[in-house]
Amino acid sequence: MMSKDSTRGKVIHLNNGEFETEVLKSNVPVLVDFYADWCGPCHAIAPTIEALSNEFEGKVKFVKVDVDSNQEVASSYEIMSIPTIMLFENGKVEDSIVGAYPATVYKQHIERALNHGH
């Protein structure tokens, strides 16, 4: 039985080489949080993203991509501002949100993506 104490661990931190496998070839929708360690708003939304990863566990995969150490991925998706949240489905970007927002905004986008696909 898994412990509910840990809210960490539902969000996967990716490196350049893992993006294709974890995101583009995923059989469930993937929320990608493009961030950087020096980005204040990125740190501000991190607990929100963690909480949503628990709420949507099993329905949506949550991953974080550090734009500084994954410049290839960041530039291929033309990430200009962070935080940028992108929702991928079947290897394609279905939605993106630039900037820090309350949990309700991210939740609406996730639910819309889930309902769109079914």
C-alpha–C-alpha distance, residues 75 and 15, integer Å? 14
Q: Strand 11-14 vs strand 30-35: parallel, antiparallel, or unpaired?
A: unpaired
Q: Which of 14, 39, 49, 60 is catalytic?
A: 39
Q: Which of 14, 30, 31, 42 is catalytic?
A: 42
42 belongs to the catalytic site:
yes
What angle in degrees, to the nearest 10, is found between the helix axes of 40-55 and 103-116? Answer: 50
Contact between 110 and 95 under an 8 Å Cβ cutoff? The reply is: no
38 is catalytic: no
Altogether, the residues listed in the chain come to a count of 118
Question: Catalytic residues, which ones?
Answer: 39, 42
